Amino acid sequence: VVMMHKPIGYLSGQPERTGVNKNSYETCASLLNTLNFFDDSGNSSKHRRPSPSKRSELQETVWNRKYMKFNGPRRTLSGYAPAGRLDINSTGLIIFTRSGVIAKRLLASNGSKQAVEKEYLVRVAPLDPNGSMPNDLSVLLGRGNMLKGENRPLQPLAEASWLNESQIRFVMKEGRKRQIRRMCKELLGLHVLALKRVRIGDIRLSALPEGHWRPLGKNEIQSLIEK
């Protein structure tokens, strides 16, 4: 299991729409190469190997390649699929796995006991240039909200709060297509300027730079299974 800081302009998976030229966009999987490996002690693999404290944890995955297989001239990690998605204009944490158990857990719907909480930081502006920001976000915490074109209500968010005058923190388990952008527009009258996922369960993005990835440690993987 590995985690990546997805940059803007990359697809989390393959294009869903028919007629889309798949060669027009690169997927996040193309960034899973040896140059973009990141040791969270602060060292990129293209400069040096992980710090001694991390080496024992990673040696069976990256350096011995016992569980990780790199293919092609770009030495790209193979066989891993994203467990979840972020749209092409969003950034942040995305997890890749070869484990069906973990993928099922991360893709579980909000109604499932296995659903995993996710946290987002969202910078917004009023749709109306002369409008103002709504102080009250409680509508997001209530039941019965519907998005256009759907026939089932949204699940209430776990948390929704202002971090500053232009940024909202969302904590939620549901994950419909472009859900946050649609909620901001339809329920709050806001346009999303930037969206970043910073946490999945107990896994935090922390200092991982954009476009880089690292394997999850044993405790992190266990937290996804047991949560």
Active site residues: 87
What are the tokens at 100? 């069906």
Q: Cα–Cα distance between 38 and 46 in angstroms, integer?
A: 9
In the block, tokens 């979840």 appear at 84
Q: Which residues contact 191 (CB under 8 A, 6 or more apart)?
A: 124, 125, 126, 127, 184, 185
Element (H, E) at 161: strand 159-164
Q: Cα–Cα distance between 222 and 207 in angstroms, integer?
A: 21
Q: Cα–Cα distance between 45 and 138 in angstroms, integer?
A: 45
String of b and e for 148-157 (b: at least 16 CB within 10 Å)?
eeeeeebbbb
Contact, 36 vs 213, CB < 8 A? yes
Three-point CA angle 150, 224, 90, nearest 5°: 50
62 CB neighbour count, 10 Å cutoff:
24
Q: Cα–Cα distance between 226 and 131 in angstroms, integer?
A: 45
Report helix, strand or coil for 35.
helix
